[in-house]
Amino acid sequence: MRFETRSLAGRLVWSLSILLAVFWTIAVGLSIHVMRAEFDEVFDSALQETTERLAPLVVDDHFRRDAGSEPNRVAALTPGAADEYLTYQVRDAAGRVLMHSHNVGTEPYPAPLAPGFWSGDGVRIFTIATVSDTLFIQVADSLAHRREATLESALTLLLPILLLLPLGMVATRWIVVRATRPVNALRDAISVRDGSNLEPIALGGLPTEIATIPGSINTLLARLKQAIEAERDLAANSAHELRTPLAGALAQMELLSQQLSEPQDKSRSERVLEALRRLSLMLEKLLQLSRAEAGIGFARTPVDLIALVDLLVESFQRSHPTATIIVQPSPGLSELMRAIDPDAFAIAFNNLLENAARYGSEGEPIMVAVTKDGLITMTNSVSVLSDPDPNVYRTRFKRGQTSKPGAGLGLAIVDKLMAQMNGTMALRTVTLASGRSGFQCELSFPADENEDRGLPAPLGETG
Tens-place pLDDT, residues 368-389 = 999 988 889 998 888 766 566 6
Strand partners, 273: none
Q: What pLDDT score does 387 carry? A: 60
How many Cβ atoms sit within 10 Å of the Cβ of residue 414? 26
* Residues 114 and 211 grouped into a single domain: no
* Residues 45 and 141 grouped into a single domain: yes
* pLDDT tens, position by position, 165-201: 788 888 888 888 888 888 888 888 888 777 667 788 8
- CATH code of the domain covering residue 355: 3.30.565.10
Q: Is residue 454 scored above 50 in pLDDT?
A: no
198 located within any domain: yes
Burial class (CB in 10 A: 0-12, 13-18, 19+), 121: exposed
Taking the C-alpha atoms of residue 19 and residue 167, their distance in angstroms, rounded to an integer, is: 15
123 located within any domain: yes
| 88 and 123 Cβ atoms separated by less than 8 Å | no
Beta strands 135-142 and 123-130 are antiparallel
Rounded mean pLDDT, 308-330? 88
* Residues 290 and 310 grouped into a single domain: no
* Residues 309 and 289 grouped into a single domain: no
363 located within any domain: yes
Q: Is residue 55 scored above 80 in pLDDT?
A: yes
- CATH code of the domain covering residue 57: 3.30.450
| 187 and 206 Cβ atoms separated by less than 8 Å | no
Average pLDDT, the chain: 78
* Residues 345 and 363 grouped into a single domain: yes
Least confident span in 32-41, 52-61, 73-82, 344-353? 73-82
Of the three residues 275, 294, 313, the one that is the final residue of a domain is: 294
Question: Is the Cα torsion angle 258, 264, 267, 269 positive or negative in sign?
Answer: negative
* pLDDT tens, position by position, 104-163: 878 888 888 889 999 888 889 999 988 888 889 889 988 888 888 888 888 887 787 777
Taking the C-alpha atoms of residue 210 and residue 190, their distance in angstroms, rounded to an integer, is: 13
Which amino acid does the sequence have at 57?
L
Q: What pLDDT score does 207 carry? A: 79
215 located within any domain: yes
Taking the C-alpha atoms of residue 237 and residue 245, their distance in angstroms, rounded to an integer, is: 13
* Residues 207 and 116 grouped into a single domain: no
For residue 396, report the phi and psi dihedrals to the nearest 5 degrees: -65, 140
DSSP letter assigned to residue 113: S
Of the candidates 328, 325, 339, the one whose C-alpha atom is nearest the C-alpha of residue 306 is 328
Least confident span in 48-62, 89-103, 271-285, 426-440? 271-285
Report long-range pairs for 20-24 (Cβ below 8 Å, ≥24 apart). 20/161, 20/165, 20/168, 21/161, 21/165, 24/161
* Residues 144 and 263 grouped into a single domain: no
Distances from the Cα of 350 to the Cα of 308, 342, 413, 442, angstroms: 11, 12, 11, 14
438 located within any domain: yes
Q: How far apart are the first and last CA of the chain?
A: 36
* pLDDT tens, position by position, 326-339: 888 988 888 888 88
Q: What pLDDT score does 446 carry? A: 84
Kind plus residue range of the DSSP H or E element containing 443: strand 437-444
* Residues 376 and 443 grouped into a single domain: yes
Rounded mean pLDDT, 7-19? 80
Q: Is residue 460 scored above 50 in pLDDT?
A: no
* pLDDT tens, position by position, 18-49: 888 888 888 888 888 888 888 888 888 988 88
Distances from the Cα of 123 to the Cα of 14, 145, 173, 286, 424, angstroms: 45, 9, 50, 97, 82
* Residues 15 and 42 grouped into a single domain: yes
| Domain membership of residue 212 as a residue range | 193-294
Q: What pLDDT score does 299 carry? A: 64
For residue 89, report the phi and psi dihedrals to the nearest 5 degrees: -140, 145
* Residues 289 and 310 grouped into a single domain: no
Who has greater pLDDT, 429 or 291? 429
* Residues 21 and 94 grouped into a single domain: yes
71 located within any domain: yes
Taking the C-alpha atoms of residue 97 and residue 136, their distance in angstroms, rounded to an integer, is: 9
- Which span out of 68-82, 90-104, 165-179, 303-317 was modeled with the highest average pLDDT? 303-317
Which amino acid does the sequence have at 378?
M
Q: How much of the chain, in percent, has pLDDT values that exceed 90?
A: 3
* pLDDT tens, position by position, 266-305: 788 888 877 777 777 776 776 666 666 665 656 668 888 8
Q: Is residue 396 scored above 80 in pLDDT?
A: no
- Residues contacting residue 239 through CB under 8 Å, at least 6 positions apart: 283, 284, 286, 287, 290
Q: What pLDDT score does 260 carry? A: 76
Taking the C-alpha atoms of residue 65 and residue 59, their distance in angstroms, rounded to an integer, is: 10
> What is the number of domains present in the chain?
3
188 located within any domain: no
Rounded mean pLDDT, 73-88? 66
DSSP sequence for 154-211: HHHHHHHHHHHHHHHHHHHHHHHHHHHHHHHHHHHHHHT-BTTB-PPP---S--TTTT
Q: Is residue 426 scored above 70 in pLDDT?
A: yes
* Residues 321 and 345 grouped into a single domain: yes
Of the three residues 294, 326, 358, the one that is the final residue of a domain is: 294
3 located within any domain: no
- Residues contacting residue 386 through CB under 8 Å, at least 6 positions apart: 400, 401, 402
